[in-house]
Amino acid sequence: MNAIGSASSPRWYRGSVSGLAAYLSNLRAWGAGAAELVLHHGPATEQFRFVHVIEQDWNATFAQYHARGIACHAHASLAPGFRLEGWHTDAQVCAAQYTPLLAFCARMAQAEGRAVTMVAHGAGDTKATLHANQEATRGFLHWAEGEIFRLGGGVRIAIELLRARGVSDVHAASSREKVMTIIHDCDPALVGICWDMEHDWFNGLRDPSWTPRPPDAFLDRVIHAHVHDANGETLANHYPLVFNTVPYDGMAPLLVAHGYTGPLILEIRYRHALSLGNPQFWMGQSYAVLRRLLTDTDRALRSGRPA
């Protein structure tokens, strides 16, 4: 059965490595088999330290997850200096930001004996054209493929399907079609899609032809997946699986039935879980919902029934 995990912002364990042990005990009790570490290096404000694992904590944080048997993947820093629109103006500076991230992912892969996926956002310069943003993202991916080869392999890049900012959105990866265009010519062994099911569903609200099932060509390239709900009233995203607004109960099974063997990562924001009550309770509930869904899917597939 696919591993279940969560995006492990330090806020979930009070922002320090010393508080991580208790949280890891919860994760194991909930059935976690994977995690997504949001990696950052360089200067960091207190706010960023609550969201990102900063460089001085990389090794200690990974060591604790690894000791508990939780496979680690990564998400590139969300800080402005890591935005891929920087490839437009100075590719060398942008590459220098990502070099330590890829190197650490390679070290994690070597320690774990399997590939590590790093999620990245495509370029989204609102003052540029869609074509320019896609070219910037392709330029980064071409460089990253070479860098991964130089590091000895073991790392994959997943470009995340993001929410579109209106019908004229110029973000490089804010639809199924856009993200497929970006990765089309990349090596499938090194580059694929992070299918964020809520983002995809949200984009579909503007498209009457949208269905929860993407084309097979899209599903073929999915190497990582994010699952979270949206607030039924405000449509704000990254909520625990409580509103049943997003049809993840149909999307996740069809991905697994297609042959996807990677993790399903609960990308839940602490503050949204806190707004509902005890954040740890709601994270545990979300694990339970996803675990039941995958158990039912596995049982259906084993019996030959549609997932």
The structure tokens listed for 116 are 């590590």
3-state secondary structure string, 247-304?
Answer: CHHHHHHHHHHCCCCCCEEECCCHHHHHCCCCHHHHHHHHHHHHHHHHHHHHHHHHHC
pTM of the complete model: 0.97
State the residue for tokens 């790392």. Answer: 155
Query: What pLDDT digit, counting tens, does each position of 153-170 carry?
Result: 999 999 999 999 988 899
- Where b means 16+ CB within 10 Å and e means fewer, 40-77 reads bbeebeeebbbbbbbbebbeebbebbeeeebbbbbbbb
At 195, is the pLDDT very low, low, confident or very high (cuts 50, 70, 90)? very high
Of the CA atoms within 13 Å of residue 11, those in its CB half-sphere come to 20
| Cα–chain center distance at 69 | 20
Q: pLDDT-derived band of residue 258, with 50, 70 and 90 as boundaries?
A: very high
The residue ranges of every structural domain in the chain are 4-303
Give 166's contacts (C-beta < 8 A, 6+ positions apart). Answer: none
* pLDDT tens for each residue of 6-33: 998 999 998 778 889 999 999 999 999 9
CATH class of 4-303: alpha beta
Give the pLDDT score at 174.
98
Name the burial class of residue 34, with classes exposed (0-12), middle (13-18) and buried (19+) by CB atoms within 10 angstroms of its CB: buried
